């Protein structure tokens, strides 16, 4: 009685069984060699440790308005919105942040990049973006992740980025507030000069005193409003507050995050096995084609 090696779709497995009987020993040898080589390569890869810091950005409300304006409905102590989270990610991923981190930790030397290399900046950027990442968490937080051969360095870099985030935010706000304060001061001086000119006009033309007083009253109200705004802007310019809430500070990892030796070994060995099967199938196909001729 002939054995039926077909499956439900009518495919005959007898050829496949014959193929693995013919080449089984070779495939086992290839698998073992590939497994040994993959394990060896995995031990040659320098291990890296992962440290993460998580922060919540504050909202972008002005501290001066929150303190001085009783009718201001938003609280600068609130957690940031989705927009503030995107702003934080952009600042943490900026070239200014990268330049500060690379300079503070001398990453070019740490990463083993020669200063004489004509492509040193490109290589530094590739390694920086490969080992340091900034991503948004599920609940509008920002996670700073750093991979490094030294677990302490990884933690220090992540914490430094979170701290320097405040510095960059303060620089941006300070520069804008300084420009705004200079403009407001100039406008206040112009309004005061206009009031002086109206008062001089009253003395020269006493018949227009009523209309002049109305003008002075309007100018005084405008000047008072401008002075309040200038005072608020000056507070924003002179005071530095934190633009984040710490959730998790980075800690040195006690276990490597990369490489995953088991994954490397399995991928290497099964990849070699799959490639060997493809090569042998091509060899068998050519052999049959020649026999058919």
Confidence of residue 2 (pLDDT cuts 50, 70, 90): very low
Average the pLDDT over each of 55-59, 84-88, 153-157, 175-179 and give the range with the smallest value. 175-179
Q: Is residue 1 predicted with pLDDT exceeding 50?
A: no
Q: Quick one: pLDDT band at residue 188, thresholds 50, 70, 90?
A: confident
Least confident of 34-43, 75-84, 99-108: 75-84
Q: Which one has a higher pLDDT value, 75 or 80?
A: 80
Q: How far apart are CA 90 and CA 66, in angstroms?
A: 25
CA-CA distances (angstroms) from residue 290 to 177, 277, 279, 280, 283?
Answer: 83, 20, 17, 15, 11
Between β-strands 49-57 and 142-148, what pairing exists: parallel, antiparallel or unpaired? Answer: antiparallel
Q: Report phi then psi at 47, rounded to 5.
A: -70, 145
**Which domains does the chain show, CATH number per domain?**
32-46+258-273 (no CATH), 49-248 (3.30.1890.10)
> Is it the case that residue 127 has pLDDT exceeding 60?
yes
d(CA 159, CA 41): 33
Q: How much is the average pLDDT of 74-102? A: 84
pLDDT score at 97: 96
Residue 170: name the closest of 220, 231, 96, 264 by CA. 96
**How would you class 86 by CB atoms within 10 Å of its CB: exposed for 0-12, middle for 13-18, buried for 19 or more?**
middle
Can you tell me the distance from the alpha carbon of 78 to that of 260, in angstroms, rounded to the nearest whole number?
41
C-alpha–C-alpha distance, residues 85 and 56, integer Å? 8
Helices marked H in the chain: 14-44, 63-68, 82-92, 95-105, 107-110, 120-131, 151-204, 209-238, 261-292
CB 122 within 8 A of CB 128: no
238 pLDDT higher than 80: no
Render pLDDT for 129-139 as a digit per residue (tens, 0 to 9): 999 999 999 88
Q: Tens digit of pLDDT for each residue in 157-187?
A: 999 999 999 999 888 887 777 777 788 888 8
- In which residue are the tokens 């091509």 written? 282
Position 288 confidence tier, pLDDT thresholds 50, 70, 90: confident
Q: Among 77-81, 104-108, 193-197, name the one with the lowest average pLDDT.
A: 77-81
pLDDT of residue 113: 93
Of the listed ranges 52-61, 150-159, 234-243, the least confidently predicted one is 234-243
Buried b (16+ CB within 10 A) or exposed e, 275-290: ebeeebeeeeeeeeee
- Packing angle between helix 95-105 and helix 82-92, nearest 10 degrees? 50
Higher local confidence (pLDDT), 102 or 212: 102
CB 92 within 8 A of CB 104: no
- Kindly give, in sequence order, each residue whose CB lies less than 8 Å from that of residue 229, ignoring residues fewer than 6 positions away: 184
């Amino acid at each position: 009685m002939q054995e039926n090696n077909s499956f439900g779709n009518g495919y005959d497995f007898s050829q496949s069984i014959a193929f693995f009987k013919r080449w089984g020993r070779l495939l086992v040898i290839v698998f073992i060699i590939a497994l040994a080589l993959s394990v060896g390569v995995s031990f040659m890869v320098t291990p890296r440790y992962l440290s993460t810091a998580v922060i919540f950005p504050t909202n972008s409300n002005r501290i001066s308005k929150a303190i001085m304006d009783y009718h201001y409905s938003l609280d600068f102590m609130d957690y940031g919105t989705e927009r503030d989270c995107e702003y934080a990610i952009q600042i943490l991923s900026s070239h200014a942040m990268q330049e500060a981190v690379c300079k503070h930790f001398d990453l070019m030397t740490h990463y083993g990049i020669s200063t004489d290399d004509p492509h040193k900046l490109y290589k530094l950027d590739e390694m920086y973006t490969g080992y340091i990442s900034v991503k948004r968490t599920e609940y509008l937080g920002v996670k700073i992740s750093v991979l490094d051969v030294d677990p302490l360095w990884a933690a220090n870099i992540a914490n430094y980025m979170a701290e320097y985030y405040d510095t960059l935010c303060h620089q941006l706000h300070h520069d804008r507030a300084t420009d705004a304060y200079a403009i407001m001061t100039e406008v206040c001086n112009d309004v005061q000069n206009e009031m002086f000119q109206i008062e001089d006009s009253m003395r020269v033309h006493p018949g227009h005193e009523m209309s002049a007083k109305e003008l002075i009253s309007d100018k005084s109200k405008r000047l008072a409003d401008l002075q309040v705004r200038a005072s608020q802007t000056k507070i924003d310019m002179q005071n530095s507050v934190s633009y984040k809430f710490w959730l998790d500070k980075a800690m040195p990892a006690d276990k490597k995050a990369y490489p995953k030796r088991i994954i490397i070994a399995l991928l290497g060995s099964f990849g070699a096995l799959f490639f060997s099967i493809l090569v042998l199938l091509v060899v068998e196909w050519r052999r049959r084609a020649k026999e058919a001729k």
